């Protein structure tokens, strides 16, 4: 319908009530680490928590679906894009503060920034998250992990905003964390997360962070566009090892390729489409199932229209 966007919000309605940038038919490829994805009907980039609430209230008023976007690092958006409203939190909720041995970070803060913030202040516990891409909110929701640790190991509490506008504080004990997942839903915006850490030598912590980053660079194709690990590791095994065992390293569909360095990283060589990546995903699942009987489960989120 002329003058309408996001399947129901009148054009101009968001600009009147939300302080921040409003983008129409915005390519999601500009907002994901894969640099892949069709257009969002409308993307709202609020400048404050109040702006987030206003955008949610407007979407609810017009019956429009909302997709919460953080850092876009564990995300594959299909080539048809996303219908409705995309709420982009990566430019807001970035504040971090330390009080004693507790650090609180906004849900839109980068995980890497949080790790460095803590290390410089001699607060230990989050160093294994060095190099983990994306936002704190996304990492908590997906219980991001590396080197045998997870971000929930030192979590004390989270403040969430529901799509209804209700705000709640949830303790670590009230949340159910498992391998690469939590009980937080897609209808909850992580406004902030508090972590309980311990005192240590700041110089030693910064050196540890540097070592972890160097190890990541040696083992993972960090120089290429990707969404990180595509599959979850099956119990007692590694997805990358299974994919390598199936002879798929270096396999290419269009401009998407399974990394020759690490079998669980699928790369965008420059002009890959979501269809290319999904074809590689299907191939890897089929070959690994044939060879080992193991069904690989996706870690990367796949969203949007074909």
Told to judge if 180 belongs to the known catalytic residues of this protein, a careful annotator would answer yes
The predicted model scores a pTM of 0.88
Q: Which of 57, 120, 121, 180 is catalytic?
A: 180
Told to judge if 57 belongs to the known catalytic residues of this protein, a careful annotator would answer no
Q: What is the pLDDT of residue 84?
A: 93
| Structural domains of the chain sorted by starting position, each given as residue range(s) with its CATH number in brackets | 4-88 (3.30.43.10), 96-219 (3.30.465.10), 239-303 (3.90.78.10)
* pLDDT tens across the length of the chain (306 residues): 334 555 678 888 899 999 899 999 999 999 999 999 999 999 999 988 889 999 999 999 999 999 999 889 899 999 999 999 999 988 789 999 999 999 999 999 999 999 999 999 999 999 999 999 889 999 999 999 988 899 999 999 999 998 777 899 999 999 999 999 999 988 889 999 999 999 999 999 999 999 999 999 999 998 999 999 999 999 999 999 999 999 999 999 999 999 999 999 999 999 999 999 999 999 999 999 999 999 999 999 999 999
Told to judge if 226 belongs to the known catalytic residues of this protein, a careful annotator would answer no
Strands 145-146, 266-268: pairing is unpaired
Q: 107 near 70, Cβ under 8 Å?
A: yes
From the list 298, 230, 219, 215, the residue with the least C-alpha distance to 262 is 219
Q: Mapping DSSP to helix (H, G, I), strand (E, B) and coil, where does residue 160 land? A: strand
From the list 109, 95, 91, the residue with the least C-alpha distance to 44 is 91
Integer Cα distance of 220 and 223 in angstroms? 9
Contacts of 77 (CB under 8 A, 6+ apart): 28, 29, 32, 34, 36, 37, 38, 274, 303, 304
Alpha carbon 24 to chain centroid, angstroms: 22
Q: Which of 73, 152, 226, 229 is catalytic?
A: 229
Contacts of 153 (CB under 8 A, 6+ apart): 125
Q: Which backbone phi and psi does 178 adopt, to 5 degrees?
A: -145, -175
Residue with tokens 């940038």: 21
């Amino acid at each position: 319908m002329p003058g309408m966007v996001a399947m129901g919000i009148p054009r101009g309605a968001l600009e009147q009530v939300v302080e921040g940038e409003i983008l129409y038919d915005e390519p999601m490829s500009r907002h994901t680490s894969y640099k892949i994805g069709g257009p969002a009907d409308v993307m709202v980039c609020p400048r404050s928590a109040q702006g987030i609430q206003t955008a949610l209230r407007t979407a609810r008023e017009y019956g429009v679906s909302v997709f919460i976007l953080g850092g876009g690092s564990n995300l594959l958006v299909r080539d048809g894009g996303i219908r409705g409203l995309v709420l982009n939190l990566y430019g807001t909720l970035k504040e971090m503060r330390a009080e004693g041995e507790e650090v609180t970070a906004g849900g839109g803060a980068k995980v890497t920034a949080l790790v460095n913030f803590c290390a410089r202040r001699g607060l230990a516990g989050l160093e294994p998250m060095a190099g983990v891409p994306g936002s704190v909110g996304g990492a908590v929701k997906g219980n991001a992990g590396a080197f045998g640790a997870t971000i929930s190991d030192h979590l004390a509490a989270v403040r969430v905003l529901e799509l209804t506008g209700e705000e709640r504080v949830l303790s670590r004990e009230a949340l159910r964390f498992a391998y690469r997942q939590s009980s937080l839903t897609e209808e909850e915006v992580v406004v902030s997360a508090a972590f309980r850490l311990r005192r240590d030598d700041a110089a030693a912590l910064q050196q540890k962070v540097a070592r972890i980053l160097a190890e990541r660079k040696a083992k993972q194709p960090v120089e290429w566009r990707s969404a990180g690990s595509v599959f979850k590791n099956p119990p007692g095994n590694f997805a990358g090892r299974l994919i390598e065992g199936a002879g798929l390293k270096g396999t290419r569909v269009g401009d998407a390729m399974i990394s020759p360095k690490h079998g669980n990283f699928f790369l965008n060589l420059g002009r890959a489409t979501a269809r290319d990546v999904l074809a590689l995903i299907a191939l890897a699942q089929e070959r690994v199932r044939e060879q080992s009987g193991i069904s690989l489960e996706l870690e990367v989120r796949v969203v949007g229209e074909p």
